[in-house]
Structure 1
Amino acid sequence: MVTRRKQSHRGVVVLTMAAACVLSVLAVGFLGFGWASAGSHDTNATTFGLERMSSENRPEGEVSPETVQDKSNADMLAVEDVAEAASLQTASSRDVSAGIDEIAAEEEAARIAAEEEARAAEQRAIARADATRSEYYATFGSLPAGDVDFSVGREAFVAEWTERIDDYLFGSPLAGHGSTFAEAAWEAGIDPRWSPAISNTESTKGRVCFKSHNAWGWDQTHWPDWDTAIRAHVAGLARGYGFTISYSYAMRYCPPNYDNWYRDTLGQMQQI
């Protein structure tokens, strides 16, 4: 009986010791796991914190790979922008240059066309004067006041006869209108001395006009100014008479006193 109790007591002790050992092992395992977890958490926290601090608090002069890449991309974009702007500017300059060249070409073409037309008009005027002179020669045989050279061209013709007629009309109401007489004679193809000389015979160079600006006793006509009057009278001489004065023209122009009229007018023409 005593022996059985001892054995039973010994078994309880053994079981108790075994349970204690198991509990110890389990406790050590849990503690190790806790330490590992705590160490792992602390390591991650420390690492991430340093990385975050490194990213946020990096010195201004320090360059990261990401910064280098961003700067490289920005530089490439800047270069592309400059290249595009230069290309646009070149194209714009080319367009402007082309426009300027086109305008210059048009102006040059217009200038050449104007010069050609002026030369053609000059040749027509010379031909007209030659025809009128030839007709006069065919009718009357000679030029009583001498010939007038149209072949020198418009500019030289007008310059010469402007000066000569201005000298002749100096001090009269018609003074200063020599160019109008010369230009009108060139266009009409007649002697530029004829109309100024008639103005002296009929009105003493415009001093005594029976109608406004009518220095030639020309019907009942009047004009608003001397230039208009001069051009109308010269054109009328070319249309109704001919190249220059003649005795038969005097008979038509001033029937009552044609002899004196012819002599006086021819004498004035020879002074110009």
Structure 2
Amino acid sequence: MDATPSLHATWRTSRTRRLITGAGITAALAASVLLPVPARAITTETAATLTETQKKVEETAAAFDEANKNLEELQAKITDNEARIAELEEKLPDAQAKASRAMREMYKHSKGSNPLMSFVLNTQSLDEFISGMKYLDQVKDANIEALQELNDMQAELEAEKTKLSTAKAQAETEKQSAEEALSEAQSLREAAQAKADAEAAAELAALQQAAAEAAQNEAGSNTTPGNVTTPDNGAVSWDTDQASFIAEWAPRIDAYLAGSPLEGQGTTFANAAWKHGVDPRFSPAISNTESSKGRHCFLPYNAWGWGSSSWGSWEEAIDAHVAGLARGYGYTISVAGAKKYCPPNWFNWYNNTLSEMNRI
């Protein structure tokens, strides 16, 4: 990615450096700077798989969003169509009654005794007689035409209702398929990350051992660095739908961020995590390591010490940061990612961030 946290401002590096104390200083420096043996990184094959599965997650997430949008648009059309049908059905009885009355009057008139003579006797002129007959025909025709128009419109709307219902059923099927594809891609991404984590764990073990030996040689004592653990990938389940995922993680993240500038952004973090296939605890925890949950941002809405980026809102910033983690750092925290995110003090950065993740 173009803007990586390795380009952090000096204040950020200094702040993290102050977090290292005691034997951790020697161990961290030995592990990241003084070791003569190069560290083992994840294999090229695993890195390629991570890239491929991340791309799949992004593609399927976009397809799911599109399917969901299509379904919402269809539902809006169905609602409008049903409202129009209801309106016509409300008008139809009155129109039918009006037409029936007109036809009954015409029938009674036609069955009366010598209707022509009646018209002649009750009209003053032939023109008036002709106008009267035309008026009666127009009343009948107008009522029948109005009734026919209502019937035709209702039939058209009913046909549209059937068409929309069929389209909605298809859209729901497409949404379900898209959601399943996204879930599968996320699972593959998680499996690839687990493999990368296993490789990173082996790297970490070697680094810790080497750091401990370096510390002992330098200090002439039995001092060893503190324990470093690997993340629990089983803490996040992707075997669920988006709504259930958000319902589980948004409140947990909100509780973690309570009282901070990021308070209330749990749903934003959870949605971004689902969309990009990232551990939902990852970005919130980094915000604590880098800025005390947004209290000390060196650029607008940049709570993560993220290069030279700034944003116009927390929502925009959170989505961008989680997307950047997915592309550049993987599904969750790792030693390799910590060394990339915070090269000078990766050891302490890793421990602090993972500790915060475990609190969420």
**Given the two structures, how large is their TM-score scaled by the length of structure 2?**
0.52
1:67 alignment partner in structure 2: 117
Instruction: Percent identity, please.
Output: 42
1:158 alignment partner in structure 2: 246
Q: How far off its partner does 1:209 sit? A: 1.0
Relative to structure 1, the CA distance from residue 64 to residue 177 in structure 2 (aligned partners, 3 Å threshold; closer, same or farther) is closer
How do 1:181-220 residues align onto structure 2 when only pairs under 5 Å count? 181-220=269-308
Relative to structure 1, the CA distance from residue 71 to residue 150 in structure 2 (aligned partners, 3 Å threshold; closer, same or farther) is farther
Q: How far off its partner does 1:86 sit? A: 4.1
Relative to structure 1, the CA distance from residue 69 to residue 213 in structure 2 (aligned partners, 3 Å threshold; closer, same or farther) is closer
In 1, distance between residues paired with 2:259 and 2:167? 42
**Runs of 5+ unmatched residues, structure 2:** 1-112, 123-128, 202-229
In 1, distance between residues paired with 2:253 and 2:261? 13
1:244 partnered with 2:332: yes
Aligned with residue 89 of structure 1, among 146, 156, 159: 146
1:121 partnered with 2:121: no
Please list the CA deviations of residues 143-201 of structure 1 after superposition, one character each: whole Å capped at 9, or x if unmatched: 72342112210111112111111111011000111111101110111111100000001
In 2, distance between residues paired with 1:121 and 1:115? 10
Contact kept, 8 Å, 1:162 with 1:181, in 2: the verdict is: yes
Amino acid at match of 2:232: A
1:140 partnered with 2:197: yes
Contact kept, 8 Å, 2:301 with 2:311, in 1: the verdict is: yes
Amino acid at match of 2:151: R
In 2, distance between residues paired with 1:67 and 1:98? 43
Q: How far off its partner does 1:222 sit? A: 1.1
In 1, distance between residues paired with 2:115 and 2:290? 109
Name which one, 1 or 2, has greater alpha-carbon Rg: 1
2:37 alignment partner in structure 1: none
Amino acid at match of 2:335: Y
In 2, distance between residues paired with 1:153 and 1:242? 21
Relative to structure 1, the CA distance from residue 68 to residue 209 in structure 2 (aligned partners, 3 Å threshold; closer, same or farther) is closer
1:8 alignment partner in structure 2: none
Comparing 195-204 and 124-133, the one that deviates more: 124-133
Amino acid at match of 1:177: Q
Relative to structure 1, the CA distance from residue 111 to residue 71 in structure 2 (aligned partners, 3 Å threshold; closer, same or farther) is farther
Contact kept, 8 Å, 2:301 with 2:317, in 1: the verdict is: yes
How do 1:222-241 residues align onto structure 2 when only pairs under 5 Å count? 222-241=310-329
**Runs of 5+ unmatched residues, structure 1:** 1-62
Relative to structure 1, the CA distance from residue 254 to residue 82 in structure 2 (aligned partners, 3 Å threshold; closer, same or farther) is same
Amino acid at match of 1:263: N
Comparing 240-249 and 106-115, the one that deviates more: 106-115
1:100 partnered with 2:157: yes
What is the count of residue pairs matched by the alignment?
Answer: 210
2:210 alignment partner in structure 1: none
Comparing 240-249 and 162-171, the one that deviates more: 240-249
Larger RCO: 1 or 2 (CA < 8 Å, sep 6+): 2
Contact kept, 8 Å, 1:126 with 1:189, in 2: the verdict is: no
2:265 alignment partner in structure 1: 177
Secondary structure of the 2:323 match is helix
In 2, distance between residues paired with 1:198 and 1:66? 97
